């Protein structure tokens, strides 16, 4: 076996963990936000991302999901910052109960946004905070990242999918919402972004990540999100993809508002 063949094999099997709002979702949130930055915020973003391999918000949007491989210590410390499980409490959030030590996506967004906006912090610290914020605002809009603790946000719900594996590896409900809903879309990322940009009725609304998590959780509780007998019928994707896409569009607007607030003058 050649080295490059082994590398391809490694990439195939090490790719995105089951807990990732897929690369497409995170990139779209970031792309939509980038298009709505004020000139002042854009200048700050450009400064902070200077030297990155792909120095755009989309280019760093999946960094936090790659930490487990690239920086295991930070990956471990930040593992709980990707989600908050509030489904069991009817989508009510209690920081002491649901986010001990600030280790959940709601408090991670607040903490990292504060670091990002603090001009007394060193640039590398603010750069890392920017990469966390871009990622976590995406995550909190993936409904399963604000779902039930008992099934790890749908990760333990194995799906029976006739004639396919739309959820990807494992084909579980979480993976379906991370990336499976967008598989086989036959649409380039650029066209997808343009289509979501043009969705009607998307306004940022609340700037409070608690509200964002509550809205995500409310989607998880809608009838039909958990398919009966864990069997996916062909209409599932048609029904729920637009819901997931609306969440991405909302995430983009809200990320832009957060960045404009933190980085504006
Ligand atoms: N582990 C436990 N709950 C989770 C969730 N909602 N999303 C991702 N990983 C989890
Ligand atoms: Zn996920
Ligand atoms: Zn994540």
With left for phi above 0 and alpha for psi between -120 and 50, is residue 185 left, alpha or beta? alpha
Tokens of 44: 């700050």
Tokens of 220: 């998880």
DSSP 224: T
Pocket test for ligand 1, best of 25, 105, 174, 226 (most atoms within 8 A of CB): 174
Alpha-carbon distance of 198 to 217, in angstroms, equals 25
Torsion sign (Cα): 99, 103, 105, 109: positive
Where do we find the tokens 């399963």? 144
Q: How far is the CA of 21 from the centre of ligand 3 (A)?
A: 6
Q: Quote the pLDDT of residue 169.
A: 45
Q: Where are the domains of the chain?
A: 3-263
3 state SS of 158: strand
Alpha-carbon 64 to chain mean position: 10
Q: Does the domain spanning 3-263 belong to CATH 1.10.575.10?
A: yes
The pTM assigned to this predicted structure is 0.90
In this structure, the residue with its CA closest to atom 3 of ligand 1 is 152
Q: Which residue stretches of the chain have pLDDT < 70?
A: 1-22, 162-170
For ligand 1, say whether the CB of 18 is within 6 Å of any of its atoms: no
| Closest atom, ligand 1, to C-alpha of 145 | 6
For ligand 1, say whether the CB of 152 is within 6 Å of any of its atoms: yes
């Amino acid at each position: 076996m050649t080295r490059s063949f082994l590398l391809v094999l490694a990439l195939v099997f090490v790719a995105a963990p089951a807990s990732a709002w897929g690369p497409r979702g995170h990139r779209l949130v970031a792309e939509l936000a980038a298009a709505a930055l004020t000139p002042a915020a854009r200048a700050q973003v450009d400064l902070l991302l200077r030297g990155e391999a792909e120095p755009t918000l989309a280019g760093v949007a999946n960094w936090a999901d790659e930490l487990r491989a690239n920086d295991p210590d930070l990956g471990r410390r930040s593992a709980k910052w990707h989600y908050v499980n509030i489904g069991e409490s009817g989508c009510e959030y209690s920081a002491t109960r649901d986010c001990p030590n600030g280790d959940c996506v709601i408090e991670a967004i607040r903490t990292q946004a504060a670091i990002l906006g603090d001009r007394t912090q060193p640039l590398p610290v603010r750069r890392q905070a920017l990469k966390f914020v871009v990622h976590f605002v995406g995550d909190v809009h993936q409904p399963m990242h604000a779902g039930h603790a008992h099934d790890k946000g749908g990760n333990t719900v194995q799906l029976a999918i006739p004639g396919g594996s739309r959820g990807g590896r494992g084909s579980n409900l979480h993976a379906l919402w991370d990336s499976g809903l967008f598989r086989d879309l036959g649409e380039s990322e650029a066209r997808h972004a343009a289509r979501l940009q043009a969705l009607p009725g998307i306004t940022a609304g609340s700037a409070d990540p608690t509200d964002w998590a509550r809205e995500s959780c409310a989607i998880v509780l809608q009838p039909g999100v958990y398919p009966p007998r864990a069997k996916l019928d062909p209409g599932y994707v048609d029904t729920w993809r637009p819901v997931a896409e609306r969440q991405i569009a909302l995430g983009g607007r809200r990320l832009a508002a957060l960045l404009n607030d933190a980085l504006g003058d």
